[in-house]
Structure 1
């Protein structure tokens, strides 16, 4: 999705924003666009194309006090008879 477009020194500059649910990994594709005097009437010679490569990396998800509830509770069962003094 193009988020902005403006006149650059030697042509046009376009910035793209990735979709919010983009999967982690490497993504490559091609983009083709052209100027039009009116809808479906492209100006001859205005077509430009380029390819792009995008790599997304996600940080490890961490929580404070074990769970999103921040209770610190860990479901576990221990047998007191199996404990020994060190």
Structure 2
């Protein structure tokens, strides 16, 4: 599995529910959080498939920054208190 690597070095992701545009929920991985003037953004990843060449398929760790209130739901029993804080965007 590969993908862009924005997560803080040495961080261990936590499970989080990601609300997709079609209203489905999937379990993703929460890597980091970042404070912006409007609130908090969270770096999450979801494993998806992608085509490589004409007849190959591989897994891809797709990462995106999302706002919790719009796109994320907590997983029961998981504490998010120690999620690493990332540097603000440049």
Please identify which structure carries the higher strand content: 2
Q: Which is greater in Rg?
A: 1
User: Is TM > 0.5 for Structure 1 vs Structure 2?
Assistant: no
Provide the TM-score with structure 1 as the length reference: 0.23
Higher relative contact order (CA 8 A, sep 6+): 2
Provide the TM-score with structure 2 as the length reference: 0.23
